[in-house]
Amino acid sequence: MSNKRQLSFWDMWNLSFGFFGVQIAYALQSANISRIFATLGADPHQLSFFWILPPLMGMIVQPLIGKYSDRTWCKMGRRKPYLLVGALVAVLVMAFLPNAGSLNFSTKLLLGLNGAMWFGLFSLIFLDTSINVAMQPFKMMVGDMVTEEQKTQAYSIQSLLCNAGSLVGYLFPIFFTWIGIANTAPKGQIPQSVIWSFYCGAAILIACVLYTFLKVKEMNPQEYAEFHGMDPAKASDDSASKEGLFKLLLHAPKTFWTVGLVQFFCWAAFMYMWTYSNGTIAANCWQATDTASEGYQAAGNWVGVVFAIQAVGSILWAIVIPKFKSLKLAYVVSLLIGAAGFISVAFVHNQYVLFLSYFLIGAAWAAMLALPFTLLTNSLHGEHMGNYLGLFNCTICLPQIVAAALGGVVLKLCGGIQANMMIIAGVLLILGAISVRFVTEKK
């Protein structure tokens, strides 16, 4: 349609810039949660229990954000009010979470967890909920405002900013250690290097979100209807958006389900990476199991470094992905490269050789950030864009919940050796690559 205005590079950049700050918060969470809870006294077999909460909150929150933002038309915008509220709450929680060990809650309470772990647990719930509230609108705004021809580029820019944010978040602890801030603390307390990482991440998060909030002007109902070829009455009338989520699922395009199957294997694999990288690297490269030891905390810093290498690999591979003639072929190749990286981690005992392993994992991460949303939004009409993107987030959250719930059992079957969980992650990515054959591309 003639009304489909092409966006400039900087228009698309502004649309997703706030994602840079949100991803710093997410990176700090994913790289440090196992370290934080292990430091607070959690047993390795309990670690996956704490990881159930982030995807569980995402599974609840993101469909609701999609549903209600589809029906929100106000002076501030359609999606922007949600990202601003989410960012503000995330900033507050990031100031409290890393201080859980400093509150002297050492008494054992329910489920054998001490007060500090329970405080950290509730902080984690609020942090992940707020991050999800702030994160989802960025994906929706691309679906709202970008033409099909430009969506691959727009999501690639979002992927670039996402990985750049991850890079910063992952490197914060080792940076603060390098400038002299303590990386160890009394048993049961979080090192100052981690605490200051969360403080700085919170400041950058709110600054970046405010930038997008002020720079981006969302469409009004009339413009949105013209852009998506809809009846203007449907765009401004929220009756269509009140259609039940379960009914929408019944009418979801086939691409929703087939890409969702691939997502299941991929996100389960990354859940095990986030949960067990710290223990694997500490045991294999530092021969450390005592969570208060200098070696274990050094390994915790190194997790941030190798996750940063993964982000660099992802940024570089994101440049390669558009060169594939087939999105499905790009998907398969990316996941198989990532699988090789996961499996190799279990056998590496040199901290620097891990750079190669996590660089390969970055290829899978690049594909997971860009390709599923490109494939899905190309199969959707504008009428229920937010609803379907919110529901699609369940294909990210559900596999993480399943993997986290089974993590302790699988670890026990693997002999209690955390490195073996990285092999399991590699096998899951291979299954994901096989599942790509069921995906149908639709434009």
pLDDT value for 240: 45
Burial class (CB in 10 A: 0-12, 13-18, 19+), 64: middle
Residue that has been written with the tokens 């810093």 in this structure: 301
H-type alpha helices, 229-253: 232-236, 245-250
Interhelix angle 80-96/9-39, rounded to 10 degrees, is 30
d(CA 190, CA 52): 22
Instruction: Extract the tokens encoding 82.
Output: 């949600």
d(CA 330, CA 324): 6
pLDDT value for 244: 66
d(CA 81, CA 79): 6
pLDDT value for 246: 72
DSSP secondary structure code for residue 413 in this structure: H
R_g of the chain computed on alpha carbons: 21
pLDDT value for 261: 95
pLDDT value for 111: 53
The widest CA-to-CA distance across the chain, in whole angstroms, is 66
d(CA 3, CA 422): 49
Instruction: Extract the tokens encoding 64.
Output: 């609701």
Are 227 and 219 a contacting pair, CB within 8 Å?
A: yes
Sequential pLDDT tens for the chain (443 residues): 445 678 889 999 999 999 999 999 988 988 888 788 887 777 776 677 777 877 787 788 878 887 788 788 788 888 899 989 999 999 999 988 888 766 665 555 555 566 777 777 788 888 888 888 888 888 888 878 888 788 878 887 888 888 889 889 988 999 999 999 998 888 778 889 999 999 999 999 999 999 999 999 888 888 888 887 776 665 554 544 455 667 777 778 888 899 999 999 999 999 999 889 999 999 999 998 887 788 888 998 899 899 989 989 998 998 898 888 888 999 999 999 999 999 999 999 999 999 999 999 999 999 998 889 888 877 776 566 667 777 888 888 899 899 988 998 999 999 999 999 999 999 999 999 999 999 887 65
Name which of 38, 27, 37, 193 is nearest 120 in CA terms.
37
Residue that has been written with the tokens 């790289």 in this structure: 31
Tell me the torsion sign for CA atoms 40, 46, 48, 51.
Answer: negative
Domains and CATH numbers, the chain: 9-438 (1.20.1250.20)
- Size of the chain in residues: 443
d(CA 356, CA 295): 22
User: Bridge-partner residues for 114, per DSSP?
Assistant: 108
The phi, psi pair for 51, rounded to 5°, reads -80, -5
H-type alpha helices, 40-114: 47-50, 53-70, 80-96
Burial class (CB in 10 A: 0-12, 13-18, 19+), 18: buried
pLDDT value for 239: 47
d(CA 89, CA 127): 8
pLDDT value for 358: 97
